Amino acid sequence: MIDDASPAHTGRRNALRALAAGACLLMVRPAAATPEELAVAIRELFGERAINPGRINLEVPRLAENGNIVPVTVTVDSPMTEQDYVKSIHLFAESNPQPRIVDVELGPHNGRPRVATRVRVAISQHLHAIAVMSDGSLWSTAMEIEVTVGGCAP
């Protein structure tokens, strides 16, 4: 009985996957970052401050054909008043050579807690976003993204 999940097929598929990943790594000098490196980057920025899930939304394509130019939109649940506003937004790619993507500083003068940009995504992974509020609280979210042709040059 042959089904797709038979060991022979899985083995070949894994080999192909490894080959594809290898081809990408040839172009990328440092090894890809790991979620541990992401944790280090987050600790460098925020120390041991508590990070809560929620209040921030990350919009990325589920599948990106070109990892060199991936549209990303971040919106935060905030009234953007003098008393209650978003101070900064931070974007991370857990499996890029360097996890940090961009840090943006905002304030009540922005009026709308939304920022969009275009980023490089080396391989399929999770992108993370963290918002820092004016009261000092931290909020985060993560989205999975699949990349057909990796941004081998992030």
Sole window of 13-21, 54-62, 111-119, 136-144 interacting with another protein (rule: CB under 8 A): 111-119
User: 108-115 — which CB contacts under 8 Å span 24+ positions?
Assistant: 108/80, 108/81, 108/82, 110/80, 110/85, 110/86, 111/80, 112/80, 113/75, 113/76, 113/77, 113/78, 113/80, 113/85, 113/86, 114/73, 114/74, 114/75, 114/76, 115/73, 115/74, 115/89
Strands 63-66 and 138-149: parallel
Residue 129 is a binding residue for another protein (CB under 8 A): no
Nearer to another protein, 63 or 102 (CB): 102
Number of residues lying near another protein (CB under 8 A): 37
**Smallest distance from another protein to CB 12, Å:** 29
Nearer to another protein, 14 or 66 (CB): 66
Residue 106 is a binding residue for another protein (CB under 8 A): yes
Nearer to another protein, 16 or 69 (CB): 69
Residue 150 is a binding residue for another protein (CB under 8 A): no
Sole window of 3-11, 53-61, 108-116, 130-138 interacting with another protein (rule: CB under 8 A): 108-116
